[in-house]
Amino acid sequence: MSFTKEEDKSRIGWVDFSKGIAMLLVVVAHTIQGGLCSGMVRGMIYSFHMPLFFILSGFTMRPSENIQSFRKKALKSAKSLLIPAAILYFAWICIELCRDSEQLLSFDFWKGKALTLLFSSASSTVWGETFIAGIGMIWFFFVLFWGKVLFDFVQMTARNIIRNEKDVRIFLIVCSILLAIIGIVFGKYRWLPFSLDIALGIQPFLTTGYLFKSIGCEYKTVSRFLLCILIWAVCFFLTYPNLDNWTYLEIGLRRYSIFPVSYLGAIAGTAVISMTGMYIGCLKNNNICEKGIRMLVKPFYVIGKNSLYFLCVHIMDQLWDFIWYAEDHQIITACKRLGTDLLVFVVVLTIVHGSSKNRSMHKN
């Protein structure tokens, strides 16, 4: 299924569509905070939006068969995830130095920044008696990198030891649960450098995505779709019984509410979004509504296909919060923030694609 032109047929349309929806919801969830209605909307988004990216990463990743391919894939992931993370982080440091140049020669300033990078945590923490500031949304790059590397190593090792495919799947499920429990325990008592405890905690999501591919997850029925909605709703209300207290799943903050119920809800929520994309792909094949569906889903596909670019824009959007922030109006603020981020995203894509075309012309 593809929503775009011939050169994009190698991509999985519903995966990009799901990522596009999730990226827009990330902006909304990061913007709305208090209030009964806003709190519930935020909780519902948080219940699946980060797990969705980990699950779909597990679905699309190509497993390594030997140590040589493992090293190549790890290096490739480092280039696509760690380098952008480092660029974003040092960009923020430069911005801080521009605002206060006296910090340039401050040992405490650079020590704090080094510790922040070392732990790469979404929020601040304390190691011993040392306060370590959070790195913000950049944590996602580090967690996805270490999570994928760890999962790839585990599945490669399992396949080299176990020959039966069914036994391999069972091993991966059990191993991922055990690793998640270890990560959750560390997340509660002692956060690890580079958010490695979260990388352990997301193993069930990567495993789920990986197994989805092997069992043919694209087989969809209305009953399965409704069942996933029901599971998602039940798990959400079990993990978020008090709307005045944020108790739902927040991976970046190490809030694993009622594990494994919150994980089951995240998987069900991801399935709902994914199957929605699959159904839309079926509607696209209907000649009567093909053009309308294509126009409707194309923006989501583009955002999903370039989700890391969109995330980078969102990470930097505090620089132009004077444009989108509306005091005491969460909904207006969220809409304006979405609009400005999308506008900057379009500009970034235009520049990136323009640069790619120029490089291609020079090579020819």
164 located within any domain: yes
Query: Is the Cβ–Cβ distance between 109 and 103 less than 8 Å?
Result: yes
Number of residues that make up the chain: 364
339 located within any domain: no
Q: Total structural domains in the chain?
A: 1
User: Which residues face 130 on adjacent strands?
Assistant: 127
Q: What six digits make up the tokens of 351?
A: 């520049």
Rounded Cα distance between 116 and 124, Å, is: 8
Rounded Cα distance between 40 and 249, Å, is: 13
Amino acid identity for residue 363 in this structure: K
pTM of the model: 0.92
303 located within any domain: no
My answer on whether omega of the bond before 260 falls inside 30° of 0, hence cis, is: yes
Q: What six digits make up the tokens of 22?
A: 């999730």
Secondary structure class of 247 (helix, strand, coil): coil
Burial 164-175, CB ≥16 within 10 A → b, else e:
eeeebbebbeeb
123 located within any domain: yes
Ranges assigned E (strand) in the chain: 125-127, 130-132
Residues 6+ apart with CB under 8 A from 354: none
133 located within any domain: yes
141 located within any domain: yes
Query: Is the Cβ–Cβ distance between 52 and 270 less than 8 Å?
Result: yes
Indicate if the alpha-carbon torsion angle 210, 237, 123, 312 is positive or negative: positive
Closest to 265 measured CA to CA, from 230, 220, 219: 230
Q: What is the pLDDT of residue 5?
A: 40
Q: What is the pLDDT of residue 218?
A: 58
Amino acid identity for residue 183 in this structure: G
Q: What is the pLDDT of residue 11?
A: 81
Amino acid identity for residue 314 in this structure: H
Q: What is the pLDDT of residue 347?
A: 95
Q: What is the pLDDT of residue 288?
A: 55
Query: How does DSSP assign 109-170, residue by residue?
Result: HHHHHHHHHHH--SS-EEETTEEE---GGGHHHHHHHHHHHHHHHHHHHHHHH---HHHHHH
Closest to 255 measured CA to CA, from 200, 201, 194, 177: 201
Query: Is the Cβ–Cβ distance between 51 and 263 less than 8 Å?
Result: yes
Q: What is the pLDDT of residue 139?
A: 97
Instruction: Work out whether strand 130-132 and strand 125-127 pair parallel, antiparallel, or are unpaired.
Output: antiparallel
Task: Match 């190691």 to its residue by tokens.
Answer: 127
The residue range of the domain holding 62 is 12-278
290 located within any domain: no
128 located within any domain: yes
Low-confidence ranges of the chain (pLDDT < 70): 1-10, 215-220, 282-293, 357-364
